[in-house]
A and B are shown apart, each in its own frame.
Chain A
Amino acid sequence: GAVVSQHPSWVICKSGTSVKIECRSLDFQATTMFWYRQFPKQSLMLMATSNEGSKATYEQGVEKDKFLINHASLTLSTLTVTSAHPEDSSFYICSAHLAGPRIAYEQYFGPGTRLTVT
């Protein structure tokens, strides 16, 4: 099956620093990737849609200058949390959409990255 990886799986950083999270599709090409965040005991919240070679589309209320998304290749998207603050501490999850007439509706998720800002 399609595999999506994330790196790092967890990270602790100091307030004011930036953190980069990588999302890779390991065995397929993904023109579209998605970034979600999840607070404890809550559902996933879609942050943005990342399209290869173009600017990301952010959901309402998500600061694009704070959450920088780059989708430089068909297998890699990165999320950079800039000037992180404790309230940015969360579980960040990426996913990739595997397009095609038979499996156009399946989305594959990474294992998530736990970010703790101290």
Chain B
Amino acid sequence: DAKTTQPNSMESNEEEPVHLPCNHSTISGTDYIHWYRQLPSQGPEYVIHGLTSNVNNRMASLAIAEDRKSSTLILHRATLRDAAVYYCILPVSSNTGKLIFGQGTTLQVKP
């Protein structure tokens, strides 16, 4: 299984952009890069996914390196409600949707 590496924690100030990095040097050509986040005492929620091109949605942007060995989740303006654990995941199987969670990055947002 391709593995991802993320910093354990990051801090941000409210209303400022946040860049959450993820390394996935063993990614294969067909692996999609997924990001989920988990707010305290809740189940994870889907944030964004991408394959090669940068992606944008209402929650965030995903910037994917040209060699696909790393990616960055961008929150354009952090709010206190964005404080969560962010997981960068490469699915084990695209057919079943099976996900293996690493330790993720705990994001603290300061007012």
Contact = CB atoms under 8 A, between A and B. Distances in A.
A6 B43 CA distance: 10
Nearest to A36: B101
The A interface, classified by DSSP as helix, strand, loop or mixed, is strand
B interface residue count range (under 10 / 10 to 19 / 20 to 34 / 35 or more): 20 to 34
Interface string A61-85: 0000000000000000000000000
Contacts of B91: 105
Contacts of B32: 105
Nearest to B87: A43
Contacts of B45: 109
Contacts of B94: 104-105
A10 B99 CA distance: 24
Interface in A36-56: 36, 43-46, 49
Nearest to B91: A105
